Amino acid sequence: MPDRKSTKTVRKIVLSIVSILIILIIVLVVSGYQYYTSSLEPLEPERNTDVPVEIPIGSSRTDIARILEENNIIRSAFVFNYHLRFTGEEGFQAGYYLFSPSMSTEEIVSQLQEGGTPIMEESAGSITIPEGFTVEQVAIVIEQQTDYSVDEFFELIESDAFLEEKLEEYPDLLTGAMEVKEETLYTLEGYLFPATYEFLDDTTMEQLVTQMISRMDQVFQEHYTEIEEQETTVHDILTLASFVEREGITYEDRELIAGVFYNRLDVGMALQTDVSVTYALGEHQERITYDDLEVDSPYNLYQNTGLGPGPVNNPSEEAIQATLYPAETDYMYFLADLATREVYFSETYEQHLDYRDEYLR
């Protein structure tokens, strides 16, 4: 039986170690908090000298923080960038600014959101990404409309360093994509917002792609909380929206199509969308053959239930809205007449077959 005195000694040693660890943790937390708060205080409260600073077009939050630190406006780019992420501050504008080392973080953020003197550089051109284009199609457009090549585009978007940097800048948007990056064909498929983007002579490929990601993030800003409350993910919404984008033309049809997909998901029924098959095949086809439906791919949603690995194109804001707010119906089937662009919805398979015989024969 252990000696009572030695047991007491061991207990004292354990308590001492625990106490020391607790004290160390408290010291680290307090020190960290003090470092955080002090880093956000004015760099030089008494120095009111204006410092001209240029925030280039396409600058990310990380870029802005780095530029401010390099110009001795803030103490720490890391802390400033973290603060922006933590507070959810957005809407920073490119331009020429006059900042002072005596400015508070709140003043700097406010000025960045209000905007400085516009950058008067003449646009070197613009690039238009059509709605519903795939990443591979985006690459071709970039090569056709800029000095960058398809290979340069893919080298960037498949770079782990670039993807990790964008994840840090846009965690709400890209977390889901990064979690399944080993399963998807392209991690950024679905995340490059289709729009027209202007670029300058010195605009980099990274800045161009970042603009596309940033625009998609802006589209989702007012929906992030709602998506979390509905226990779904941005990745799932974009995946479904990419199907809706290609299956419907009018907004009303897209709302109904989204409703059909949700109804099918609710009962574990395959979505059976041709869009998934064309993506699995790697080519766009107006009509799908029965042989095509057998293609062995996780993207083939005739052979697999659920949503598949991820988006199959970059959907428009309209398709995203229709997916977020689908029509509530009992429809389980739909088909489109390619000649008239009419879409016919049905609740039963028998009715669906009748429509097929009437409109697609």
Give Cβ neighbours of residue 215 (< 8 Å, ≥ 6 apart).
Answer: 193, 195
Tell me the pLDDT tens digit for each residue of 108-163. Answer: 999 898 888 776 556 778 899 999 999 999 999 999 999 999 999 999 999 999 99
Please compute the mean of the pLDDT values over residues 58-65 and round it to a whole number: 86
Out of 68-72, 85-89, 294-298, give the one with best mean pLDDT.
68-72
CA separation, residue 122 to residues 175, 206, 250 (Å): 36, 20, 37
pLDDT tier, 221 (very low <50, low <70, confident <90, very high otherwise): confident
**Confidence at residue 4, expressed as pLDDT on a 0 to 100 scale:** 61
Residue 222: per-residue pLDDT:
86
b/e 94-120 (16+ beta carbons within 10 angstroms → b): bbebebbbebebeebbebbeeebeeee
Q: Which two tokens stand for residue 85?
A: 């992420």
Phi/psi region, residue 282 (left: phi>0; alpha: psi -120 to 50; beta: rest), is left
Q: Is the pLDDT confidence value at 224 over 70? A: yes
Output the six-digit token pair for 91: 């809407």
What is the pLDDT at residue 88?
A: 82
The total of other beta-carbon atoms located within 10 Å of residue 83's CB is: 19
Give the DSSP letter of residue 46.
T
pTM of the predicted model over 0.75: no
Rounded Cα gap, residues 9 and 338, in angstroms: 85
Distances (CA, A) of 186 to 48, 131, 183, 258, 281: 49, 17, 9, 24, 15
> Are 346 and 355 within 8 A, CB to CB?
yes
Q: What proportion of the chain, given as a percentage, has pLDDT over 90?
A: 50
The string of DSSP letters for 168-230 reads HH-HHHHHHHHHTTTTSS-TTTT-S--SEEEE-TT--HHHHHHHHHHHHHHHHGGGHHHHHHT
pLDDT at 46 over 90: no
Question: What pLDDT score was predicted for residue 213?
Answer: 93
56-65, 75-84, 279-288: range with lowest mean pLDDT: 279-288
Query: Could you tell me the residue ranges of all domains in the chain?
Result: 14-120, 125-222, 231-359
Report domain 14-120's class: alpha beta
pLDDT computed for residue 341 by the predictor = 80
Q: Give dist(CA 97, CA 112) in Å, integer.
A: 8
Give the tens place of pLDDT for each residue, 231-244.
Answer: 899 999 999 999 99
292-331 tens-digit pLDDT: 787 889 999 999 999 999 999 999 999 999 999 999 999 9
Res. 40 pLDDT band, cuts 50 70 90: confident
Q: Tell me the percentage of the chain whose pLDDT exceeds 70.
A: 91
